[in-house]
Structure 1
Amino acid sequence: MRKKALLFLLALSLLAGCTTRAYETNMELGRNELKKQHYLEASEAFDKAYQDNDSAEAKDLRNMSAAMSKAMTAYETSDYPTALTLLDKVIKYKTSESEGKDVHKQAKELKKEVSKAIKESEEMTLKLEEGKVLLSQKQYKEAHSLFREVTESNQPSTSKLKSEAKKLIDKTVQSEDQTGNTSETEKPEETDKQSETKETNESTELTKEEGKELVAEFIKMNDSSNLTIQFDREDEKGNYIFQVYEIVIDNAETKEGHTATWGWYSVNPKTKEVEDLM
């Protein structure tokens, strides 16, 4: 009887030891994923650790990582209200863990980016509406300028606005050609010279939106594609650099996922040449 009791205690001890090792392994894995800002992977590792040992540390880091993962997905799909709600949730978490404090910092930085995107979207909407009013008043030069500003926005949330602005630019040019008047306040001689200069510049240098369309043609992207093309920056030679990425859904039920870069492309705005950078 005593021998059976000793064997039972030994088995319990071994089981506890295995549980402890699994907990520590998953916690370390979660911390490493957090350092890489792989929030979905981190939340999964912390969840496994929490199943082995329902510690407050594992629970807090799991919940923060999961919320941050969803916030990133919302941001990348331009669902800014959802992103802000989730980021506020992350920021409100109280944690003494250094990893948790790092997530707090990352959430605050992303919140600034989301707020910036919302502000730009609102500004572009206002410019578009102002341009429409100017177009109706036959102030073509001023309307054209506002529409072009909208097309040069690099925020994914303004894609529909940019598409509408481009169509309005075409309408503005057509109206200008029909009336021969770009501004009611300018002298005819000055208007003709400025119009000629503008047409020359537009024929030799692409807008960022036109560069984006060239990339779409280059990679043979169709309307049903899951790929997204986003302007990233101008390089030292003045070429437009675009990132092509797709959102990979990791969990079909929760729609959680992550972005995966598909490629990087350079567009020369003068020669219209597209180059694959990868």
Structure 2
Amino acid sequence: MQQKNTLIDIGANLAHHRFHADLDAVIDRARQAGVEHIIVTGTSERASRDAHALTQNYAGYLSSTAGVHPHEAKNWNAGCAKTIEQLAGRQGVVAIGECGLDYNRMFSTEAQQLLCFEAQLQLAVRVQKPVFLHEREAHDAFFALLKQYRSQLKGAVVHCFTGNTAEIREYLDLDCHIGVTGWVCDERRGDDLRQALKFLPKEKLMIETDAPFLLPRNLPVKPQEGRNEPMYLPVVLEAVASILGISATALAQQVRLNTGQFFNLPLAA
């Protein structure tokens, strides 16, 4: 029987309500698929607390991030900032974020998003944790602010990158890592990403599901409820390996090394 590749999902929203009823089963399926570790995304004050709580319930298998998504930027205040900073110092919290800018839906104003993003960049500098970044339809403003702080940051990964070659080159100029999701499997809208990945050094690549979102469209059998899970991370790996023209096994080894070093994960040798 062919041995499964050993993978790390750098971004899964396991604190999301869609996982409340069957998280144990979700994690069991992930393990069976070869996913050895999952980083649970913090997207708000409450979600960051919940994500950290999960790392305690599944110690050693889950880590988490602590941060406020641009959609939630309107809720950023002194109390929220204090909570995120406290979480950042706790065992199992490996990055600040998900933070950044999102000018697509504008659930928070531009001014609120910029304030919230910069505050979290400053926090990441203080606590020397890498940042887990979100950008949608806001590249210029996002890049300009990130550039101001990048030299002081321990690390930066642009999560769920869906951009083009010019954007990926700009991020590489700032020594950023790139997170790739099932967007790469989408035949309708993934062309720019697929082309951009050809210019990405394998040492800067990480993979993720962004579960329960972004279910890979190339799954032969899709779940009826359309919920994405970490168990589908191998589908992302296979798609990226095909684009890069290398074996999935070789890519899995490189991506695991990248991820373990970036997030300082306690992985087995």
Structure with the bigger RCO (C-alpha within 8 Å, sep 6+) is 2
Output the TM-score relative to the length of structure 2: 0.29
Larger radius of gyration: 1
Structure showing the higher helix proportion among its residues: 1
Output the TM-score relative to the length of structure 1: 0.28
